[in-house]
Amino acid sequence: MGGFKIRNVSGRDVDVLVSKYTNKHGSDSWFKASHNFGDTSKCYWDRNGWELIAFRDSSNHHVRRGWYIDCSGGQVDITFVGFSQDIGIYRH
């Protein structure tokens, strides 16, 4: 299984967007970032290649940060730590 599992451990409310370049049937809307990987309906995006993963502060949409990440080799777990830090990436 490819795609992205995304969680937010920054301690603040954050929205996440995953582009849909590799899955045109997916959604590239903003969603509240889950705090854990437990519920795949809230943390999983079905994609299979390079995508933009973007985060924004839920209360101030001008605070944003994003990365282009490739999941073509399998599932990628992403942990968002904060806007002034890098993300954690674990590839399966």
* DSSP tag of 87: P
The C-alpha atoms of residue 55 and residue 46 are separated, in whole angstroms, by 18
pLDDT in tens, 46-92: 999 999 999 999 999 999 999 999 999 999 999 999 999 999 999 99
pLDDT in tens, 7-26: 999 999 999 999 999 999 88
Q: What is the mean pLDDT of residues 34-39?
A: 97
Longest distance between any two alpha carbons in the chain, whole Å: 35
Q: Which two tokens stand for residue 29?
A: 């809307």
Instruction: Residue count of the chain, please give it.
Output: 92
Residue 8 domain boundaries:
4-91
**Total domain count for the chain?**
1
